[in-house]
């Protein structure tokens, strides 16, 4: 079933989704040649927009594609899409591909990007997942070597996530050479004693906006937080494990590969961090922080 919305943005036009058409020769369709962003909206305000646009710019630069819009032009597009859902929590999905060209692996000269965006109400994890935690499995990280690019070519991620779902889990925690990278669609934190640890940024993880905010909030509140490699044994002996993303926020993982994490229930550090995160979000809605 298609999501319910009255309009989408496609290449300079706002139109009903059923009227939106992209060429079968678009390189996004043929090669997965493009990037994307997902931007939450709280209280009618685009959450951490400069951070999302900076990541978008980095992804575009990495695939050598020009940014088709200025910051103000993006704001104008997003604001019109947001209007349909008022001040309810929602998210903007944005996708940019290299555009239409004859099928050839080489980049076409003078490519005109295809730009597509829409807004939808934000779907939060069920309340019981926050109260009880979720299950994850570990999986070999079979993806490429530029996971820091938020690319639309997500087949490996989709396969890994599907394998997790078929094992009754919510997420796959990816392991490369004995070290945790991230989730199939999230970043990972572990809690050891009174210390947070999350894998460092690099080519094998996507620099998550929520991940960075959790690190920022922790340090602002004198919670020890390290960005360093997390081995598989450290994951298995952690007191708490969390996943973070723009749509799942901070979600506790209480079982991994069929074994309980710590006490097998959401821990006190998660309760503290999630409360601090909600305080930050409320301050943002009130215009007290950007």
How far is 34 from 99, CA to CA, in rounded Å? Answer: 9
Assigned token pair, 78: 């997003």
Residue closest to 36 by CA, chosen among 7, 2, 72, 65: 65
Q: For this structure, is 222 an active site residue?
A: no
Write the CA distances from 125 to 84, 132, 170, integer angstroms: 23, 12, 11
153: burial class by Cβ within 10 Å (0-12, 13-18, 19+)? middle
Active-site choice (13, 75, 123, 150): 150
Work out whether the CA dihedral 190, 191, 196, 197 comes out positive or negative: negative
The rounded distance, in Å, linking the Cα atoms of 275 and 278 is 5
What is the β-pairing status of strands 249-256 and 134-140?
Answer: parallel
Token pair belonging to 30: 């043929």
Nearest CA to 6 out of 93, 91, 76, 83 is that of 83
Q: Which two tokens stand for residue 153?
A: 């070519």
Residues involved in catalysis? 150
């Amino acid at each position: 079933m298609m999501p319910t919305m009255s309009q989408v943005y496609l290449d300079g036009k706002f139109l009903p989704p059923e009227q939106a058409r992209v060429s079968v020769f678009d390189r996004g369709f043929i090669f997965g040649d493009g990037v994307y962003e997902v931007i939450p909206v709280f209280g009618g305000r685009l959450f951490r927009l400069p951070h999302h646009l900076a990541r978008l710019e980095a992804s575009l630069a990495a695939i050598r594609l020009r940014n088709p819009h200025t910051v103000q032009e993006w704001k104008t597009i997003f604001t019109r899409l947001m209007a349909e859902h008022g001040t309810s929590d929602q998210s903007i999905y944005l996708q940019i591909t290299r555009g239409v060209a004859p099928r050839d692996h080489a980049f076409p000269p003078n490519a005109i990007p295809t730009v597509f965006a829409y807004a939808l109400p934000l779907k939060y994890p069920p309340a019981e997942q926050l109260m009880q935690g979720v299950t994850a499995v570990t999986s070999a990280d079979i993806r490429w070597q530029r996971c820091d690019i938020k690319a639309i070519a997500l087949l490996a991620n989709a396969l890994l996530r599907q394998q997790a779902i078929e094992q009754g889990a919510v997420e796959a925690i990816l392991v490369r050479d004995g070290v945790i990278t991230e989730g199939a669609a999230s970043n990972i934190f572990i809690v050891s004693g009174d210390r947070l640890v999350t894998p460092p940024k690099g080519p094998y993880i996507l620099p998550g906006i929520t991940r960075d905010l959790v690190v920022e909030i922790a340090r602002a509140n004198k919670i020890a937080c390290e960005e360093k490699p997390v081995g598989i044994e450290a994951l298995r002996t952690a007191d708490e494990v969390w996943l973070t993303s723009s749509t799942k926020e901070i979600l506790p993982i209480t079982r991994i590969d069929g074994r309980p994490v710590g006490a097998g229930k959401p821990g006190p550090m998660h309760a503290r961090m999630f409360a601090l995160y909600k305080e930050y979000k409320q301050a943002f809605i009130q215009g007290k922080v950007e």
